[in-house]
Structure 1
Amino acid sequence: MDNRALLLSTAYFAPVHFYTRYLYHSEVYLEQFENFPKQTYRNRCLILGGNGPISLVIPVVKGRGPKILIKDLQISYDENWQRNHWQTIVSAYNSSPYFEYYQDELYPFFESKSKYLLDFNLKIHEQLCDFFEIDNKIRLTEDFEKVPENTFNLRDGISPKLKHNPDTAFQAQPYTQVFSDKYGFMPDLSILDLLFNEGPNAYTILLQSINPNM
């Protein structure tokens, strides 16, 4: 366990790296006062389908100004992205060992409508904590510049934009994926990939995916 607090950005069915770090820190802050950056895990997740990695993106309402605080960012329902996301997830993971085990609790996220992205992601996180049987220890930040002392800042350190992972302690533990025979092991996909493939063992995989000596 790391005695430092951890600062993360919000994420839509966050990648494995997010939850590996989440388990490793006793205090976890989630940024709510940053300006919304495009092309990040804040409104997208990466899963693995039969034709390779698939990025599922939540469309958002564009404001009048160029900068929108993440806490104020609204989800757009102009297109039926919920149905598309769920159908894609079912197609990718219907044959996985634990899809049927989790699908009933996950489906409501693709049926009911949340107004704000941050609220939606927090509801998903709460459900994931229930799956892992862990406490929901997320605390929202009070101000963008006010980062708690002795805090490991990964606010921008878990991102699809990064070619190299700045968190050298995170070392994704391999597990069997639905399409491993076709693509080999693909690390740090959405937590959904780990859950559907490993079920209750996902918790152990997360704990094994960090090397504190690095």
Structure 2
Amino acid sequence: MELLLHPTYFPNVISLRCLQEGGVVWEVWDNYQKQTYRNRCYICTDRGRQMLNIPIRHSGGANGRQRYRDVQIDNTYPWQRQHWRSLETAYRAAPFFEYYESRLRKIFEEEFETLLDLNLSTARLLCELLEIDFPEATSTAYEAEPNEKQDLRFLAGAKTPLDLDFPSYPQVFEDRHPFVANLSGLDLLFNEGKLAGEYLKKISLPVQS
């Protein structure tokens, strides 16, 4: 069965597990929602879990809603420079940061107009680096209750609790705080490198919410 997912900013570990499984269809016809992984991801710093947030232009209609595919990034704010500096500070000491640095830096030097284009680009890049086939299929219309797809769109909710077991792996600041699970795939990539794919296989797929 196909898996229906929202494109998110540098997808987290459970989303990468779904991409690894294959058969993903990207949801591109939904309305934009706040406080989701659509415009944020989480990394691990010396202080623990830290959010990287993308500023967006709010231009919804009379009801305040707008299509996710139409959401524009507010590039008047230097968010890309800020995000890259945060990644350098958090992961410069990670064993594989320098190995992937040049590929990743490019995405922070390119200006994106829409949030959807940015998120698909970050997902594509992570798939390439993790040797996962990137899914090209997108939804053709919004379905509140898809009948022929496993609806995993709930994974985009940044505050949605997940009853899943995430095995630990070495993290840069593990001497300062306990393991932080299900961060952006960047954390897994910088710490595990080529072993990241094997780590993902240890995680059970989520069930439909």
TM-score, length-scaled by structure 2? 0.92
Amino acid at match of 1:56: L
- Does 1:22 pair with 2:16? no
Distance 2:88 2:9 in 1: 17
Distance 1:208 1:150 in 2: 26
Q: Counterparts of 1:14-53 in structure 2 under 5 Å? A: 14-24=11-21, 26-53=22-49
Shift of 1:212: 8.5
Q: Counterparts of 1:56-71 in structure 2 under 5 Å? A: 56-65=52-61, 66-71=64-69
3-state SS, counterpart of residue 175 of structure 2:
helix
Distance 1:199 1:46 in 2: 18
Per the alignment, residue 198 of structure 1 pairs with: 192
- Does 1:140 pair with 2:134? no
8 Å CA contact 2:17–2:205 kept in 1: the answer is no
Shift of 1:122: 1.1
Distance 2:146 2:112 in 1: 29
8 Å CA contact 1:173–1:206 kept in 2: the answer is no
Distance 2:146 2:36 in 1: 23
Of 153, 163, 166, 1:172 maps to 166
Task: Flag as ranges the 4+ runs of structure 1 deviating above 3 A.
Answer: 146-150
Amino acid at match of 1:175: Y
Shift of 1:134: 2.2
Shift of 1:154: 1.1
1:42-63 superposed Cα distances (whole Å, 9 cap, x missing partner): 1100001111211000111110
Shift of 1:138: 3.7
8 Å CA contact 1:174–1:185 kept in 2: the answer is yes
Amino acid at match of 2:68: I
Distance 2:178 2:37 in 1: 23
Kindly tell me the number of residue pairs found equivalent between the two proteins: 205
**CA RMSD across the alignment:** 1.8
Gaps of at least 5 residues in structure 1 are none
Distance 1:139 1:126 in 2: 13
Distance 2:11 2:71 in 1: 18
Distance 1:58 1:29 in 2: 24
3-state SS, counterpart of residue 182 of structure 1:
coil
Distance 2:156 2:58 in 1: 24
Gaps of at least 5 residues in structure 2 are none
- Does 1:160 pair with 2:154? no
Q: Counterparts of 1:114-129 in structure 2 under 5 Å? A: 114-129=112-127
Distance 2:43 2:206 in 1: 27
Amino acid at match of 1:119: D
3-state SS, counterpart of residue 101 of structure 1:
helix
